Amino acid sequence: MENNIMCGSACVKYILNINNIKSNNINNKMFWISELAISLFDNNVKNIQLKCFNSTLYNDYINKKIDGKDFSGFYFLDEVLKRTIKISQSILNSSSLKKEILENKYIIMCVQSNIFNNNNKMSGGHFIIINKIIDKDNVEIINPIKNKYENKLINITKLLLCCKDYGSWRILIKEI
């Protein structure tokens, strides 16, 4: 993995590489989860959908709270819909997350960095890939850090806590 790549871009590259999908046009600085979905879709990963729950961004978007032309968060949601990628809101709890993991090959999730890393000095969001269920309480994730990918176990309750304040945004990726 390259040193100057943002975590979301690293997640997209991981999924493309692990599935032998060649692409030379991945933006290394993707910020919004909707950008990640667009990049996957534009690289022939078509069977995807975006989900969120209690997202201020999405609620403001659907209620047209501000003009989207000047806000990149809204711009990329527009682009997602132009590509016919489904966006839906659904409650995220332990049982629904387990169901999503079982029904999808990968899930890219936005988590809150300070909670995820147990470090109150950290701020902002971070993207991870949920890989599989390990047991009734834990899942395996792929965590893009610095210049490598780390496979890690995380408790489902903690994972849910990590994403709830960030709108529980996730990309569900079916079989590729």
Given a cut of 70, whether residue 3 has pLDDT beyond it is no
**Straight-line distance from the first to the last Cα atom of the chain, in angstroms, rounded to the nearest whole number:** 22
Can you give the residue ranges of every domain in the chain? 7-173
Percent of the chain with pLDDT over 90: 85
| Per-residue pLDDT, 33 | 97
Distance set, CA 143 to CA 6, 30, 58 (Å): 12, 16, 25
Cα distance between residue 27 and residue 36, in whole Å: 9
What are the phi and psi torsion angles at 71 (to 5°)?
-125, 115
- pLDDT-based confidence at residue 4 (cuts at 50, 70, 90): confident
| Per-residue pLDDT, 175 | 81
Cα distance between residue 9 and residue 36, in whole Å: 7
Cα distance between residue 59 and residue 144, in whole Å: 29
| pTM reported for the whole predicted model | 0.94
Tokens of 112: 């809150």
Cα distance between residue 55 and residue 123, in whole Å: 18
- pLDDT-based confidence at residue 38 (cuts at 50, 70, 90): very high
| Per-residue pLDDT, 147 | 79
Query: Which three-class secondary structure state does DSSP give residue 44?
Result: coil
* H-type alpha helices, 19-138: 33-42, 56-62, 72-82, 94-103, 113-116
Give per-residue pLDDT as tens, 57-114.
Answer: 999 899 877 665 678 999 999 999 999 999 999 999 999 999 999 999 999 999 999 9
**Residues contacting 17, CB < 8 A, separation 6+:** none
